[in-house]
Amino acid sequence: MKTITGATSVAEILKMCPSARGIFDRHGLHGCGGGSGPAESLEFFASVHEADLEALLRELNAEMSHPRQEAHAYQETLADFIYRRFFKAGIAIVLTLGALWGVIALLEISFRKELLQPTLLPFIHAHAHAMIFGWVGLFVMGFAYQSFPRFKVTTLWNPHLANLTLYLMLGGILARMAGDMLEHGVAALALGSASVVVEVAAIGLFILIIYKTSTQSLSPHNPYEGLIMAALVWFLVQAVFSGVFFFAQATATTPGQTIFRIALLDGPLRDIQLFGFAALIIAGVSQRFVPVVYGLGKSQHDFLQPIFWLINGSLVLDVASYMALFITGNVVAAFLLEISYLLMALWAVLLVVQLGVFRRPSQSDRSWKFIRAAYIWLLIAMAMMPLLIPYSNWTGEAFSHAFWGAERHAYTVGFVSMMILGVSSRVVPILAGVDSKGLSSLWGPFILLNVGCAGRVGLQVLTDFAPHVAYSLIGITGIMELAAIAWWGIGLWHVMNLAKTHRSHMLNAPAPLVVR
């Protein structure tokens, strides 16, 4: 009789014994890999789903010996493929309203050789909104709807309501884009109001769905879930704050008032979005995903609680001290702002140590280089944060937009976007039942994105010292980054299409079995 081992792939087991799907579903498979199942080994499956490998082997081999007769053909449900809609929408947004608009704005800056152009502000705000809600937001929602139920060994609560949140988010993004681009008036305010309502509703429903899904699970609570839940709270807070920001600038009566309100609110809003929402969700998902999927082993030190409090505490201190400094100019507020930046650098270092991203992985994959590069960029970006105030004083500026923009780019593209590319490049082939070893190595988009990001960060700082050279070259970096994301996005879209049930097929390779 043939025996299943830890090296046998889930797809091969399901091919030999279709009734084994019930066993896998009890451990969180639930549609991963389509009808064929994922091409990953049983050992990998057990590690990712925190199942006892030896117990799983005994159960599967017993099923092989006496398969159940009531096994039925796999039928894909909305909960199985809903992530594809969110991921594809996210790719479409980033390649149009997101990165493409950013490149157009950057080329205008390069041509006019000036960073601060009031005429570009509506364009830049629409671009930033699309990137946070349409790029980061949609990928987070799609990944959560697909992975969270499986990690909790349950099913997604109300998939049709989850599907509605996609259309609400897309409607809100388009309405906000139009509201930002129109001249201040009734039409702009109406579109902005509609955007706020539907986006807050979408995010509120998203949080409800994740909460209800969690309550269905009998799995124990994991510490990393605190990071994720805090991120969801900040996700909702930033959506409300984003509406406040829109109305503050849309109701300004003079150009000076517009600039004042943007300067007061834009920084805190972006910090809530990037450090409250993005940092916490990435930290939480990374804790559950990175060490296990790449075989990094357990960290010798547990910094999860300090990381949680440092991210949240430094953000609150950052927002409060920034607004106090802007309004009062008080030196104490400046000191507290600098403290918040130092605390941000501290949590970044602790997070890197906690995850062990500089340890040698035992599971090789094409996506690993993106994950490691993302955390290198995080360290770079957060090391730049405490230097903002000293740098501004050194250059004789009240606030260096060049340095601030460079730091933001290192964080948003180098860290956040690199993580999106890395995680999705690992997860989607598993969900599609495709062996990632047979796919593109992704070295092309990886090199383009890193060179483009490094060029943008360096050249933006250089605009303070050699503006003619820096402005002449800076536009090229945006084109490189857009090309990298398009290259990656087209490939990911193709792999997602392979996940469709009617296109899935069984692997023809012989199963690595032990015969006894």
Angle (nearest 5°) at CA 361 between 357 and 363:
130
The most distant pair of C-alpha atoms in the chain lies apart, rounded to whole Å, by 84
CA atoms of 71 and 11, how far apart (whole Å) = 16
Residue 502 pLDDT > 60: no
Mean pLDDT of 364-391: 97
pLDDT in tens, 384-420: 999 999 999 999 988 899 999 999 999 999 999 999 9
CA dist list (Å): 330 to 105, 261, 318, 321, 501: 34, 19, 14, 9, 62
Query: Which residues, in sequence order, are bridge partners of residue 515?
Result: 2
pLDDT in tens, 182-213: 988 999 999 999 999 999 999 999 999 999 99
Looking at residue 71, what is its pLDDT?
59
CA atoms of 303 and 347, how far apart (whole Å) = 9
Q: Is the dihedral of CA 26, 27, 31, 33 positive or negative?
A: negative
**H runs (alpha helix) in 152-296:** 159-181, 186-216, 224-250, 255-271, 279-293
pLDDT in tens, 38-68: 888 888 888 887 788 888 888 888 888 878 7
pLDDT in tens, 272-319: 999 999 999 999 999 989 999 999 988 778 999 999 999 999 999 999
CA atoms of 131 and 213, how far apart (whole Å) = 27
CA atoms of 356 and 306, how far apart (whole Å) = 16
Tell me the pLDDT band of 513, cut-offs 50, 70 and 90.
very low
Q: Which amino acid is at 425?
A: S
Residue 2 pLDDT > 50: yes
CA atoms of 303 and 449, how far apart (whole Å) = 30
Looking at residue 11, what is its pLDDT?
83
CA atoms of 230 and 237, how far apart (whole Å) = 11
DSSP 356: T
CA dist list (Å): 181 to 124, 206, 257, 259: 10, 28, 18, 16
Tell me the pLDDT band of 70, cut-offs 50, 70 and 90.
low
Mean pLDDT of 10-20: 83
pTM, two decimals, is 0.92
Looking at residue 197, what is its pLDDT?
97
pLDDT in tens, 217-242: 877 888 899 999 999 999 999 999 99
Tokens of 364: 């090789």
111 close to 148: Cβ distance less than 8 angstroms:
no
Tokens of 259: 């600039």
CA atoms of 373 and 393, how far apart (whole Å) = 31
Beta-carbon count within 10 A of 72 CB? 9
Residue among 382, 367, 459 nearest 414 (CA): 382
CATH assignment of 2-75, given 1.10.3910, 1.10.3470, 1.20.1260, 1.10.260? 1.10.3910
Looking at residue 33, what is its pLDDT?
77
Residue among 15, 19, 133, 118 nearest 68 (CA): 19
Match 């730091």 to its residue by tokens: 407
Looking at residue 500, what is its pLDDT?
62
Expressed in percent and rounded to 5, the helix, strand and coil fractions of the chain are 75, 0, 25
CA atoms of 478 and 104, how far apart (whole Å) = 9
End-to-end CA distance of the chain: 6
Task: Write the CB contacts of 182 (distance below 8 Å, at least 6 apart in sequence).
Answer: 188, 191
Looking at residue 462, what is its pLDDT?
96
CA atoms of 452 and 30, how far apart (whole Å) = 39
Mean pLDDT of 490-494: 96
219: helix, coil or strand?
A: coil
pLDDT in tens, 232-271: 999 999 999 999 999 999 999 898 999 999 999 999 999 9
Q: Is the dihedral of CA 488, 490, 493, 495 positive or negative?
A: negative
CA dist list (Å): 69 to 1, 66, 375: 19, 9, 49
CA dist list (Å): 152 to 29, 227, 308, 499: 11, 16, 21, 22
Looking at residue 122, what is its pLDDT?
87
DSSP string, 126-139: HHHHIIIIIIIIHH
Tell me the pLDDT band of 508, cut-offs 50, 70 and 90.
very low
Beta-carbon count within 10 A of 85 CB? 18
Residue 511 pLDDT > 50: no
Query: Which residues, in sequence order, are bridge partners of residue 3?
Result: 514
Residue 35 pLDDT > 80: no
